[in-house]
Homo-oligomer: A and B are copies of this chain.
Amino acid sequence: MSQTRQNSACNIHPLIAGRWSPRAFDGNRAVETEKLAACLEAARWSSSCFGDEPWRFIVADKSRNPEGWQQMLDVLVEANQQWAQRAPVLVLACAAQKFVKNGKVNRWGQYDTGQAMMSFALQAVGEGLITHPMGGFDDEAAKAAFSIPDDVTLMSVTALGYSGDLSLLSQPYQDIETAERRRKPIGEFAFTRWGEAWGEQV
């Protein structure tokens, strides 16, 4: 990772501290199939309600499936296409709406798919890769392009690849890429009771 930005206040694991969402991908370097398989394997071992494994992925690897990759790029909103065109792999994550086991509504489908994709992203860090998840894509176009049924919810398209040249990004994206990473303090999202900051106990 040429642009590691580890500025978390607390001492967290390097794999987690090293994950962020860059836009500067190396457009000339494919992702080795073994590395992509390892990311999928990491997602595979994620946890899920009743072990139903509700995550479904459409994997678009430019080097092995250029047509599928182009279709995936095309469903992204234009602002994402600008930089994601240099990402060699695009992975669409979908969440099953019903349990496979009994056909009932699975209210944890999206949550569990998020868990799986975080495992994917962290394995990518371990492989020396970068990821950037996107919510900006055309849902209906993606469903049509990849024959996705109506009983899954399309959640994100994640760009996967190697870190690349920052100067190829437009100036606004270069600025975002080098800006300080920010998050709200723990006490603003972790409570002992709603609104009562957990941090104040420490």
Contacts and interface: CB of A to CB of B under 8 A. Distances in A.
A191 B122 CA distance: 21
Given A45-B8, A135-B49, A57 B191 contact: yes
A93 B132 CA distance: 24
Interface string A25-49: 0000000010001101110111101
A95 to B, nearest CB: 7
Interface string A159-202: 00000000000000000000001111010011111110010011
Contacts of A181: 45
A56 B189 contact: yes
Contacts of A110: 110-111, 114
A53 B181 CA distance: 13
SS class of chain A's interface: helix, strand, loop or mixed? mixed
B113 A190 contact: no
Size class of the contact patch on chain A: 35 or more
Given A15-B122, A16-B122, A122-B16, A68 B189 contact: no
A111 B146 contact: no
A127 B46 CA distance: 18
Contact of A45 (B19, B117, B119, B191): B19
A42 to B, nearest CB: 5
Nearest to A113: B111
Given A108-B135, A122-B15, A10 B38 contact: yes
A117 to B, nearest CB: 6
A136 to B, nearest CB: 9
Contacts of A64: 201
Given A12-B41, A68-B193, 8 more contacts: A8-B41, A40-B198, A45-B183, A58-B191, A59-B192, A59-B198, A60-B192, A110-B111
